[in-house]
Amino acid sequence: MHATVEATRTARRSGPDLPGILRSEFLKLRSVRATFWTLFAAVVFNIGVGALAGIFIPGRLSGEDKLTADAIRLSLAGLHLSQIAIGVLGVLAITTEYSTGMIRATFAAVPQRRMLLSAKVVVFAAVALSVGIVSCFGSFYAFQAFASDDALSLSISDPGVLRAVCGGGLYLGVLGLLGMGLGLVLRASAGSIAALFGLLFVPAILLDLLPSSWKENVGPYMPMNAGSQIFITKGAEVSSLGPWPGMGIFSLYAAVALAIGFALINRRDA
């Protein structure tokens, strides 16, 4: 009897196990209406813009321009819009609970805060990566459906194509995690979204105002420039980093933001 009571107390102290927390976080993410509509927007943006690009771009380029154009990147034209939806969802996956106060109940149910955050990251990463890859494949094939008889036509088996398409999905997944990390640090939706897109877009504006040497030496290491190398194969935006080192640097930004959030989670009140 004494052993049973002690085991029960130990179980209560230890809290839920990781598989249970993962299931709970998935159900929580799925139950929020904004999740569905934001992911739906990401897919529609990606595939829809890819289809529109396939309809209009081939007719606007000369034969010479088509030979030098990055057909893979054109096929993923919708990615630049869908990244907005995924980034915002990454922020809201964290900040919504803080704004509603539900995070206090969550921490009461799962006292192991870092385990809880790990589960949130794993669940969101799986969802964002899956949606990102599916939508990038959809964008690629939507573009190619309209450019099948054109010089911009590509096959998924052509060199670099599969890497770029899957890499586009990976880029979206990492971008979402960067949004989560900023949400953990700032705990406010508006501020986190502003910080996310400031981090993505402001460096390019600032670098245009600085000497060209800064743009050449610093530009490739900025978040969006580094991450986009995974799906860029031609043109002036190809940097010396290469696809995978560039994605590694982009992932490092997300990892740093998440690490700071994890470090602060036990030091701040909910």
For residue 14, the model assigns a pLDDT of 55
**To which H or E segment does residue 178 belong?**
helix 161-186
Percent of the chain with pLDDT over 70: 93
- What's residue 15's pLDDT? 62
Helix (H) or strand (E) holding 110: none
Q: Of the given ranges (46-55, 122-131, 230-239, 243-252), which has the lowest mean pLDDT?
A: 230-239
Confidence tier at 236 by pLDDT (50, 70, 90): low
Q: What is the pLDDT of residues 60-92, one digit of tens each?
A: 887 777 877 888 888 898 998 999 999 999 999
With 0-12 / 13-18 / 19 or more C-beta atoms within 10 angstroms meaning exposed / middle / buried, residue 59 is exposed
> Which residues fall within 8 angstroms of residue 246, CB to CB, at 6 or more apart?
220, 225, 226, 227, 228, 229, 230, 239
pTM of the model: 0.89
Model pLDDT for residues 145-155, shown as the tens digit of each residue: 988 767 788 88
Residue 154 amino acid letter: L
**Residue 191 structure tokens:** 């501020």
pLDDT at residue 9 is higher than 60 = no
